Every structure is written in C-alpha cells, then in structure tokens.
Amino acid sequence: MKAITISRQLGSLGDEVAQAIASRLNYRVVSREIINQAALRSGAPEMALVTIDELDLLGIQPTVKARRAYQATVETVMKELADEGDVVIVGRAGQVILREHPNVFHVKVIAPSALRAERIARLHNLSLEAAKAQIEASDRNRKNYLKRYYRARWDDPELYDIIINTDRLDPEQAACLICQALTHCDQRAPYARYEQLPK
C-alpha cells in the first residue's frame, strides 16, 4: 500500500497508532499539515482554525465560499499525498476522499467511550464529566463533518478496511495488527467482484 488513512475517535489513541505504523513502515504522518496547506492554498486561512477547533470553542463562522474552496483544496492535497505514497494520513475524511484511490488502506481506531473519557481526563487533568463532554462534542463534530461535506456516515464500516479497538491493545500492538493486514493485502490476488461471479 502506498498510503494509509486513519480515522479515529478522540481518546482512542488513534494518533499514537498512526505514529507507530509510520515508525514500522518508515512512512511520514500527515494531519495538521493537510489543514494548513489547504487553508493557505484556498485563500481561507480561517478554515485552519475552524477545523482544528473540534469543540467549537472559538466560534468562527467562515463563509460558504471559503468552506467550499477549503474543502476542494483539502481533497487535492490529500490526493497528491496519496500519489506520492509512504504516508499515513490522519483525519480530514481521508477514508471518503481516497475511497476509490488505488493502494490506499483505510483504518478506523475506536475504543469504548468510558475508556476514552478516562484517557482524556488523565491526559488533560480534567474531571471525568468534562472529559465525557469533550468526547461527545468531538464525536458529534466528526460525524457532522462527514455528513455535511460528503453525505457519508462516520460509523459506516464499509468505509474502512480494518477497525481496531484499543480497549485491550496499546498503540504498538494495534500497529502490528494493521501492518500484518497490510502485508496480506499486498500479497493477495484481487478478489472477484460479486457482479463477475456466475449466477
């Protein structure tokens, strides 16, 4: 595979899994870079702040024109990265934008909401209730992002080649499983699509 996309829930250790995969494969990780490149190239720098502000704390409201220009540029930047290869792309709807792109493997990293809240509370020294509120807001915003721009469901399993639950796996163990799956995908023959099968 030339590229891997990582979709993750807040507190699922998705960023750490992405880093672990990149270390194993000698790939680079791209996440905020996509936002910044797209915002600058589209002439809508405020979109970088909006997309980073998952909890909507800043209250920035870009114009529809700015949003569309930014989104088109995100897609261009992401496709360029996938063409270059040796990259792990984190977030920004890569699983949808690159769905039909050859040699891209799509991963979703999840964990139980209670565990995610515990992780966020420890990481940011928050109360459990505050962490739960952050988890809920993040999930809602990620879900709405895919729905608004791509009419896709964030929880649609068909968008992903593999879904990893980090409830009982650390990032290195999760990365190991993903890399094993990648090896098998690279070695197998293309499958016959259902429409090609005899009736």
Instruction: List the pLDDT tens digit at each of the 199 positions of the chain.
Output: 689 999 999 999 999 999 999 999 999 999 877 767 776 777 766 666 566 555 555 566 667 777 788 888 888 889 999 999 999 999 989 999 999 988 899 999 999 999 999 999 999 999 999 999 999 999 998 898 899 889 999 889 999 999 999 999 999 999 999 999 988 776 554 444 444 445 4
- Reported for 93-98, long-range contacts at CB under 8 A and 24+ positions apart, including other chains, are 93/145, 93/146, 93/149, 93/150, 93/152, 94/5, 94/6, 94/7, 95/5, 95/7, 95/159, 95/160, 96/146, 96/150, 96/152, 96/159, 97/150, 98/3, 98/5
Task: Note the pTM of the prediction, 2 decimals.
Answer: 0.82
